[in-house]
Amino acid sequence: MSGRRDRIVIPAAVGAGVATLAWGYMLAGGNPWSMRLDNLLVMYPMTLEAYRQLAAGALPVWANGLWGGFPLLADPVTATFYLPHWLAFLLTPAPHVRAFDLATAWHLGLLAAGSVAFTRRLGAALLPSIVAGAVIVCGRQVQFWAHSFLPCIAALAWWPWAMLAAEWLASEPRGGAAVILGSVALAAQVLAGYPEFALYSGTVAAIWVVARHGAVPRRRRLLRLGVLAVGAAGLAAPQLLPTIADLGDTFRAGSPTAANLLRVFVPDLRALIDPFAPAVVWIGIAPVLLAGVACGQSAGRLLLGLAVAGALLSLGDGTPLHGWLRQIPPYGLFRGPHKFFTITELALVWAAALGGTALWQRPGRVAQMIGALLLAVLVVERGVGFTVEDRLVAGRMPDELPIAAMLSLLDEDVLGAYPTAAPDSPPPRLLVYAPNIRLGNVPMVRGLEQLGGGTTALLPPRHQALLRAPVSPALMDLFGVQVVWLPGPACVQSWGYEVLHRSPRGCLLRNPRRPARYALGVPYEAVATVSALEARTASRVNLLDPVWCSPRPPRCRRLAPLAR
């Protein structure tokens, strides 16, 4: 019973407790807690659209609601094949604005449960393991991803399970169960929408399997790793294949940022006063001291080595290490070296559980009291850090509208002023003439087609070129823009468009030429500049009758020709 309790009962109880507390905390706020930043502007509308298409019996290959048409299935953040997300949508009422909170809560529970299981497997005592499982969800990196990027936190929740599988592979004579667990833990990260974290955690787990002291010969360990990798790739193939197929037509770039080492040990308390204080890495003092104590064990030394490597990689251009790693495919595809600090944050908490155990088990009351004190300080530090980060994220985007306000704006200022003629009529194609942080992909929640959208990770370079091009009537006609929404109360008639609706939030303009959304025409002539496009406006090609296809359920019908 003791072995089963350590493997299943205690981790499950801690995970359920953390998930319940997280869900209650999120419900206590008026607005959805996780509906911020990328979750709000990018992930939620795309994931909701994929869920809607699946519920209608269609594979979400394509979506018309952003960027004038987008390969929805190819972008892994939609998590088309990740069942836990669909359960969150099933359990919440439409339009499912609390689905991300629910999914985030139980993934935090999964992270806590895995941390308890992993540290117990390494030999940590019960109380230090429970403390590690509880405080790991309050780390700066974990909390930031939970706030704003569901694919990240969903992938991160599987990291300790991948590490548990790695420990089994290095020490257990029978490795079948460990291979299955490791394959599921890595594939789940891809299916949840974040292959980058699957790559990083897979790398860390592979290092652990090879470097860990154990009874299994290293040749057998490598064989097990190969089988695990094949299994993970097979399970993740439904998402990997369309993503890889589309990857060559996307733009992946970004300059790395350097970690601020001056604030690694002390949280940036300015965030309590200044909501614009920069987000920095922070780990606190207690986990470092406890991890130092854990260096007396081989597992502790290995965890500390991984923590140091993650910290060095997070410096980006500050050291040559990150540059060397980027030369190895596929590490060069990913940006943001600060994500490597996630390895540091998790590894130090796991090592702290081992350090707390080592002090707890030493003879003499002084060592035990020091261990208890450091564990208490760890809890207090993470509590303060959680408060700071929660305030910081809440104030980072002061102009960001809550999801309820965005949906109200679309209902009243766009759809209310430009209703469709019939329930099965195609929605208007919209241009939000404002920074993409204003509405992002949210218009697609209400079924609108949008020429722009949020900053998706797999955006083709042609779309980015379109963003840099001047907005002109010819360009909007070319892409079938029918209505334009401008933010702010000072609306002016632009491009010769008529003002359909005014409100304190903005105004809606209608394109008087009413261009067709989709058209087939031959021949096409490429032009180099917008000015050249303007010059060609008078000599348009003959267009066939436009055809519109509704994605839910899939059906097409021919529309009446529109006056051009």
Question: How many degrees, rounded to 5, is the angle at CA 221 between CA 220 and CA 223?
Answer: 65
The answer to whether the predicted template modeling score (pTM) of the entire model surpasses 0.85 is: yes
pLDDT at position 215 is: 86
For 387, how many CA atoms within 13 A lie in the half-sphere containing its CB? Answer: 9
Asked if residue 485 lies in contact with residue 508, where contact means CB atoms within 8 angstroms, the answer is yes
Can you give the pLDDT at residue 7?
Answer: 74
Question: Any idea what the Cα angle at residue 43 is, between residues 34 and 451, rounded to 5°?
Answer: 135
Tokens representing 463 are 């779309």
Q: What CA–CA distance (Å, rounded) separates 79 from 154?
A: 10
pLDDT at 323: 87
Tokens encoding 174:
């029978």
> In the prediction, which pLDDT does 341 show?
93
3-state secondary structure of 149: coil
- Extract the tokens encoding 557: 């019908």
Q: Where are the alpha helices (DSSP H) in 264-364?
A: 286-293, 298-314, 320-326, 341-360
Angle between helices 298-314 and 195-211 (to 10 degrees): 140
Closest CA to 3 of 121, 127, 122: 121
Closest listed residue to residue 231, CA positions, set 194, 184, 199: 184
Cα separation, 533 vs 541, in Å, equals: 13
Q: 129 and 360 in contact (C-beta within 8 Å)? A: no
Return d(Cα 267, Cα 409) in angstroms, integer: 38
Q: Is the dihedral of CA 375, 377, 380, 386 positive or negative?
A: negative
Residue 406: HSE in the Cβ half-sphere, 13 Å Cα cutoff: 26
pLDDT-flagged residues of the chain (< 70): 1-6, 251-282, 393-399, 420-425, 435-437, 462, 464-470, 490, 517-564
> Do residues 507 and 501 touch, judged by C-beta distance below 8 A?
yes
- What is residue 310's predicted lDDT score, i.e. its pLDDT? 94
Taking CA atoms, 92 is separated from 48, 87, 98, 146, 410, in Å, by 12, 9, 7, 19, 22
User: Positive or negative, the Cα torsion across 267, 270, 275, 280?
Assistant: negative
pLDDT attached to residue 253: 36
How far is 239 from 187, CA to CA, in rounded Å? 9
